[in-house]
Every structure is written in structure tokens, then in C-alpha cells.
Chain A
Amino acid sequence: MSTVAAPVDVLPLYRTMVLIRRFEEEAERQYKAARIGGYCHLSSGQEAATVGTVEAMHADDLLVTGYRCHGFALARGVPPEAVMAELFGRRDGCAHGRGGSMHLLDASRGYYGGWGIVGGQLPIATGMALSLARREERRAVLCELGDGAVNMGAWHESLNLAAVWRLPIVFLVVNNEYGMGTSVERASAEPDLFKRAGAYRMKGERVDGDDLEAVIEVAGRLLEEARGERRPAVLEALTYRFRGHSVADAGLAYRTREEIAEHREADPLERTKALLRDRGASAEEIEAAEAAAAEAVERATEFALADPAPALDRLAAGMYAPGSASQFERMVPGSPIGERELVYGGGLGE
């Protein structure tokens, strides 16, 4: 992936942005077709912030996010097949069908989830940065959170720990103006969220999250300071969520159609396409990128449709580490109905 210095090759990034948009449109269709369940949070409108920050990461940096994570997983290179299969709850999903939309991950790519409790991922990402620091590795953690998460106690404790211990971590606040139906102004006494970094003598910057190149530049700079000087930072990316909070929310109770339309005018996909043209990309190249993205989504859906469900006799798989089954052997007598078959016989500790 590019370092800060290198010139940005926009075309592949544009393709990834389109991939995310098309992927989530397909996910919504499949949700309506009842092939995807649970909560499903789309990020349409946030693609530049997503792709730009991940582009600024090194291959060995670590990524931790909240539950609105389809885009981050795809941008980090998790195969669309594995992501769609996870949304379908299938065996070959990136979490083997056990996590779903909110709990994507791919440890082989340094992506450690995909977390559903607002703010809960912050202390964990901070601990990962602590581990990198203990091993004196020149790597950093990028931890994504939403504008609503900055009011959780976990934000405060994590930022203070990261700063007092000088940990290599960048807290990426994706400010899409709302936490469910609550605007930033109604939730945060300091609505300029990046300024809250000051409470920890930490650097805080704000960027137009829909400006791909600007995002890459500032994210790259902050990540490099984290890697090189162990300087943690807050990066606030201003963007907008086109859709509702989740596919279950029409997203109109707390904002006007006009407001949404206005933001759609400035769709980051269009802005990036314009940038490509300025850079001399041909219509053919652009169409080819868009077609490639569309095909990738098609392949992902086909894969997910064909992928089998997780084995029913493995209900307890993964819960405990291999070898744990013997620790639980003596717990069986008098257990509640079903435990024998479902848990003790369900792959416990395998």
C-alpha cells in the first residue's frame, strides 16, 4: 500500500469505493430477500473516508472498527466472497457465519473486528497498540468509531491510556453527523470532536472525509507519527450517511429529505470520479473499474448462495480453545436439558 510520500493511484481506490457501494446495495436486496438477518448497517456516502484511511495503513498495521464495517473489511482486502458469505451466515464467511454483519474480521490482514457495543472496541484497540509498543514494533493501530461513540466513558479512558503510555494508535472518528437519530450537536457539548483530543494533550485533526486524497494524506501522516514517534492522535473525518442507521431505519424521522439530497449532490463517488477525469483517466478505464466492482459483487453473491450453512453439530465450536473439552467433562451431570447434545457434544473446545 502507498506510503504518505508516494503519489496516489486513484483508479484502484475508486474501484474499491464502487465495490463497497454496490456490495451494500446488494446486501440490502439480500436482506429484503431474507437471506441476511440481524442488524445490517450500510455506509453509503462514507466510502472515501473508509477507503482513504485504510489506504494510508501499512500492510502490517492493525485495524479495529465498530459494527458499520462492510466497507472497512472490503477496503482492507477481505475477499467480497468471505464478507457476503458472513452476511449470509455461511460456513466460509470470514467469521464462519458466527459473527454476521457487525463482526467481520480477518486476522491474516490485521483486521481484528467488527465490534457491536458502542465504544467497546476502543480499549481493545488501545491494548493492541500497547502490545505493539511492548514489542517495540514500528506498526500502528487504526481504530474506527462513530461520532456517537465519543460520549462513552470508554473513549475517555482509552484516549487517556493511549496518551499517558504514548501508544501507536490513531482514533478515527467517522463523523456522519448522526448517532442513530441524534445529531452531533445534541449529543456532544464539544461538537468539534477532534478538539477533544486536547484533553489528553493529543493531536487532533479534522478532514473532509469525502475528499479521498485529503483523507489519505492526513491519515498517512498521523499513522506515521504513531509508528515512528509513538504519538497517538484523533482524526475526525466529516462525512454523511446517505441511508438510515440500519436497513430497518428509513432515516427520515430526524433529518429532512432536502438535507439528504444536498449531501447526495456531493457524493464522494462522483467527486472521486471527477478527480479521476482531472487526472486524465479515460471513460473506458472508469467504466472498466465500475464493471469490475459490479462483477466482484455478483461473484460474492453467487459464492454465498452456494456456500453451506455452518454444521449444526458444531454449535459450541470456537467458544473455548482446543483442549478445553476435558476441563468441562466433569460439568455434565445434572446439566440443563440440551446441554449434553448442543454444548458438550457441540464441538466444545475443538
Chain B
Amino acid sequence: MTTTSAAQRLDKAAMAARVAADIAPGSYVNLGIGLPTLVADHLPVGSGITLHTENGLLGMGPSPAPGREDPELINAGKIPVTELPGASYFHQADSFAMMRGGHIDVCVLGAFQVSARGDLANWSTGSPDAVPAVGGAMDLAVGARRTVVMMTLLAKDGTPKLVADCTLPLTGMGCVSRVYTDLAVIDVGPGGARVVETYGVTHAALEDLLGLELGLTDTGED
């Protein structure tokens, strides 16, 4: 029932390493577009972690060497990737069945907002004149055994992204179990928001920053 506290706010690489540290060896993992893709660089060699990309590949490898890109071998962000030994290809219905059926152990997503209850908003800014697009966000949010979010705790305008209630259009309800940020790792869910670790801020300062009452998590590990 204690939280660890680093002296410093985490940079992106340190956040990614912190997410990676929670992923068990042998896991099947989907990394969302944007910040979460950095997690791949921090998965230990030999951990047997297999990456899924929802456009139809299990066993995704890193970016190819320059000049070796294949326009028919891309990830969900439409970036060229590689295939690792033991990979497999499948069509979109099979790929989302794999996701929706609870076969992916961990899905790491970016977010605009996460609520203390674990609601996720990450597909729409809610702007009335924006052209909408959703992609696989809603499928990923509810499909994995464990969905976690990696994001800065504050938006660029300084407003908190961990909130009592999401004000942006939802991606999924109660689907997020943990949020990894630059300032803290926080568990969310039916029991509300509970701090796991803080980085450069005190528990009290974090509560002030978010305007939320924060509990302490029972255990910092899965």
C-alpha cells in the first residue's frame, strides 16, 4: 500500500520502458498508433513477446532497413514493418476475431481522456466540424484481456486527461485498467483511480493537478 516515486517526470522513452516492464514474457501484445509504438523498442530480447497488428499480422518485427520497405507489409499506422520467424497472416475478420475474442493479452493505446472508472475517449476530439474516423480503436479498446493507456497526464493546454467523467465521445466503457503517464502510473476501474507510482510529484500534488481524489493501489504489479 505504498507508492514508489521517482524524482523526475518521465520522458517518452522512460514511459515506454515503464509500460514494457509490466508486460509478461510470452505475451501477445497490440500496440496502438502513436506513443504506444515506442513500447516495442523496450521489450526485452528473448522475452517471447509477440506483436499483433490488426491489419492482419501476428509476429510483427521492427521497421525494415531503408530500401527494404514492402508496401504490402505495413502496420495499422500504415508504416512499413517486417515479419519475424513464426509470423502468420490473416484477413480482417480473423484479425479482429483474435482481438475481440480476448486472445491478445495486452493492448496499449493512446488517449485523449480516460475516466477514473476506466472509460476511454481516444477517437474523436468532439469538434463539430471535424471529419470523423474511428478505425480499429473501439475494437482494440474492448477486445484485449487487458487494455492499458499510455499518454501524457496533461493535454497541451494543461487540462488533465485523467478525469472523473470523459467529456469527449467514448471509445469504450470501463475498458481501461491502467494508465501510464509522464507523472504517474494510475490504476482505473470500478474502484476509481488509484495511484501506483508517481514521478516528480507527490500524491497530494497529483490530486490537486487532476482535481480528483486518488486512492492507492493494492499492488503495483499485475
Q: Do A and B come from one complex?
A: no
Please list the residues of chain A having a beta carbon within 8 angstroms of any beta carbon in chain B: none
